[in-house]
Amino acid sequence: MLEVTKNAPQKAITQLGEAFKRFFKGEANYPKFKKKGIHDSFGITNDQFVLNDTLNRIRIPRLGWVRLQESLRFNGKILSATISRQANKWFISIAVQIDDYSHLRKAENQGVVGVDLGISSLATLSNGEVITGSKPLKTLISRLKKLSKSLSRKQQDSSNWYKAKAKLATLHARISNVRKDTLHKLTSNLTRRFSIIGIEDLNVKGMLSNGKLARSIADMGFYEFKRQLQYKAQMRGNLIVIADKWYPSSKTCSACGGIKQDLTLKDRVFKCECGHVQNRDLNAAINLANYAVSYTV
């Protein structure tokens, strides 16, 4: 207790109280103990650290001055900081209260776009654009299996076991960073270009129950896409229209409005009785754009 800052146990008790509040509200499960070596982190209040923007460094209690890779990019009241470890790298996340978002440009036009998420391509826009996902897990799955197999062959808690564990954690972090980078670029591009964006509230948990597609679905990061899009739209003043998870965006004809009940996952081309033929994902994206327009009306 005396070797670390007093904020470490104090912040942990505060977070435990918030976890119990969410548990009693039914928003989360019963709190679990953190295990050393997994999601290592601790928080410090704004009166316990000093930030020096000129020299790009921060003074942390019991550690002293620590260099930063980049300076603080936001102006506002500093609330707190969280120091965490990812693989063999340490990060500090500084919470800043920002009331003015005037530095962010508004959407370039007042246009409406529908975004249909998929597996073969990350997103299909109603204007015909197709964004191919990076699929980092699929790209690095062979190396991931090799490192996992190497770790399983080491004696637990030995020096070689910790080395193999660090290599595996570094690869997992790289996969996660590549996925987040792709999603950040896509969501920033959408909120910068369009003022109204229509998306679908996907049943990700139900989709992951499909054993054949679970890995590909998880590799895309649908929930992270929705989370990033919502907070970036709020900062820029965009409107996000979320269709219900049971909205038949793929089964509805974008030309006549008829619903094709016998549409399956194998059908990549939508063919309607009215004669309308279109790519399945593009058809769904156009329906989401029309849904967003009708919602605003």
User: Does the active-site annotation cover 200?
Assistant: yes
Whose tokens are 């003022």? That residue is 195
Q: Are residues 44 and 127 in the same domain?
A: no
* Structural domain total, the chain: 2
Longest dimension (CA), the chain: 76
Q: Are residues 119 and 246 in the same domain?
A: yes
Candidates 18, 53, 116, 262; catalytic one: 116
Cβ atoms of residues 95 and 44 within 8 Å? no
Whether 19 maps to a domain, the answer reads yes
Residues 267, 250: Cα–Cα separation, whole Å: 10
Residue 257, amino acid: G
Whether 144 maps to a domain, the answer reads no
248-to-74, 85, 261, 264, 297 alpha-carbon distances in Å: 42, 42, 9, 12, 20
Q: Are residues 117 and 220 in the same domain?
A: yes
Q: Which of 69, 97, 125 is the last residue of a domain?
A: 97
Check residue 111 and give its pLDDT. 85
Question: What count of Cα atoms within 13 Å lies in the side-chain half-sphere of residue 280?
Answer: 16
Q: Are residues 22 and 118 in the same domain?
A: no
Q: Which of 97, 121, 148 is the last residue of a domain?
A: 97
Check residue 147 and give its pLDDT. 96
Which residues are bridge partners to 42 per DSSP? 83
Phi then psi dihedrals of residue 92, to 5 deg: -125, 125
Whether 193 maps to a domain, the answer reads yes
92-to-96, 135, 189, 248 alpha-carbon distances in Å: 13, 28, 27, 43
Q: Are residues 120 and 222 in the same domain?
A: yes
Whether 274 maps to a domain, the answer reads yes
Whether 168 maps to a domain, the answer reads no
Residue 80, amino acid: S
pTM of the model: 0.84
Residue numbers of the domain that contains 286: 112-133+186-296
- Our CA angle for 69, 70, 75, nearest 5°, is 150
pLDDT in tens, the chain (297 residues): 788 888 888 888 998 999 999 999 988 899 998 888 888 899 898 888 999 888 889 999 888 999 999 888 888 899 999 999 998 899 999 999 988 777 677 776 668 999 999 888 899 999 989 998 889 999 999 999 999 999 999 999 999 999 999 999 999 999 999 999 999 999 999 999 999 999 998 877 778 887 788 888 888 888 899 999 999 998 888 899 999 888 888 888 888 888 888 888 788 888 888 888 888 889 999 999 999 988 877
Residues 84, 93: Cα–Cα separation, whole Å: 8
Residues 165, 153: Cα–Cα separation, whole Å: 11
User: Does the active-site annotation cover 157?
Assistant: no
Candidates 200, 201, 219, 262; catalytic one: 200
Whose tokens are 């190497």? That residue is 150
